[in-house]
Chains A and B, each alone.
Chain A
Amino acid sequence: MSAYATDVATLARKDVLLELRSRDTLPAMLLFVVSALVVFHFALPADASDRAEIGLFWIALVFTALLGLTRAFAAEREQGLLDGLVLAPVDRSAIWAAKAISVVVFLALAEAVALPAYALFFQPVGWELVAAVVLADVGIASIGALLAAMAAASRSRELLLPLLFLPLAIPAVIGGVGASVAENPASFLGFLALYDAVFAILAWASFEYVVTE
């Protein structure tokens, strides 16, 4: 394996291990997404359409992702550990890639619970929704990993991250909901792939500038 891939693997393993050991983010995400779905049930009038329910799933997803992202660089922030990684002779973008991978892992775990819960509470889940969720995860994780590092440098991090993130998440929501309800999901799924590619490349290239001076 190339040195870069090895570094990403090393760091990703560290990130996943840290979160599993701290045991707070994953349970929180799981509980949050299920609670959100229940709240949404009560928020919808009785004759709400199937489409409205799909929309609410995506809202739950975005906010669960935000919950997870707020914790993304928490350990590094609290203990100044990002310095330790920046000092090391690794490509800084590898730090981003590892963080994005670990975010995808946690999102996937949360969705493994959310999708069945959604199927149980609302309506059956089609393959289009699952495909859209997978694609959206990549984009959300890519953007989120970068923004979390940005917010870590600011004073009001918990407030800032949602504000920076939500406008960028709008295309993902459009793509996701579209893929779930449209007759032709392919164009929306294709759009999501484009969204992923554009922002992943941009985040990969600019992470260096966010963590160094």
Chain B
Amino acid sequence: MIRGREIEKRFGDKRVLRGLDFDVPEGGFLLVTGPNGAGKTTLLRLLAGLAAPNAGELEVAVERAHVGFLAHEPLVYRELTALENLDLYGRLYRVPERRERTGMLLERFGLWEARNERAGTYSQGMLQRLALCRTFLHDPALLLLDEPFAALDDQGADLLQDELAGGRTVVVAAHDPARLATLATARLALA
């Protein structure tokens, strides 16, 4: 599903990724580790198609409609409510039975009561949960998650871990991989 050969990414003069090779088969779970600044976020952005590598070959055999991306930022509009945010993304991703699915996810992640409040009033943990709702909304075949456990409490983390065991293709970047060690089928350590 994903194939990378000799991937290189530079920002101006700084080389963030060099000579990277990796394969992720369908249903595989790749855990990307490394300290801050090692390029984990950059790699995920390349896989998501938000950036292009300076050199090397990158193949991601999935269309945009089937990719779920959890970024550093929650990617939700602060002035819109949780419901409005998910409704927006639901329409853009043409999610079937949008309302039901939105309601189901909000409940699953414990945001149902706060659904009509503006995302700007949410705590960090709630924002992360909303971001997860957004990521799973369209039932993506490929999940790209950047530090998904950040700001989550134990309950949220448990919820996420359940979702991740679902058989999708997953690439996770985490500098503290404790929870994911059992799920991972492959590891990639960035220096």
Contact = CB atoms under 8 A, between A and B. Distances in A.
Direct A–B contact in complex, judged by CB atoms less than 8 Å apart: yes
Interface of A: 3, 6-7, 10-11, 14, 17-18, 21-22, 75, 79-81, 83-90, 212-213
* Interface residues of A, dominant DSSP: helix
B71 A14 contact: no
Interface stretch (B85-93, B152-160, B176-184): B85-93
B22 interface: no
A177 to B, nearest CB: 37
24 contacts: A7-B91, A10-B91, A10-B92, A14-B88, A18-B77, A18-B79, A18-B80, A21-B79, A21-B80, A21-B118, A22-B79, A79-B73, A79-B76, A79-B78, A80-B71, A80-B73, A81-B75, A83-B50, A83-B69, A86-B50, A87-B64, A89-B65, A89-B93, A212-B49
Given A7-B92, A11-B92, 5 more contacts: A14-B80, A75-B78, A79-B75, A87-B49, A213-B51
Contact residues on B (Cβ < 8 Å of other chain), bracket? 20 to 34
A87 B75 CA distance: 11
A89 B76 CA distance: 17
B48 interface: yes
B96 to A, nearest CB: 14
A212 B48 CA distance: 12
B67 interface: yes
B67 A87 contact: yes
Given A80-B71, A80-B73, A83-B75, A213 B92 contact: no
B71 A83 contact: yes
Q: 8 tightest A-B contacts by CB? A: A89-B65, A84-B75, A88-B92, A80-B73, A21-B79, A89-B64, A213-B52, A10-B91
B50 A10 contact: no
B177 to A, nearest CB: 24
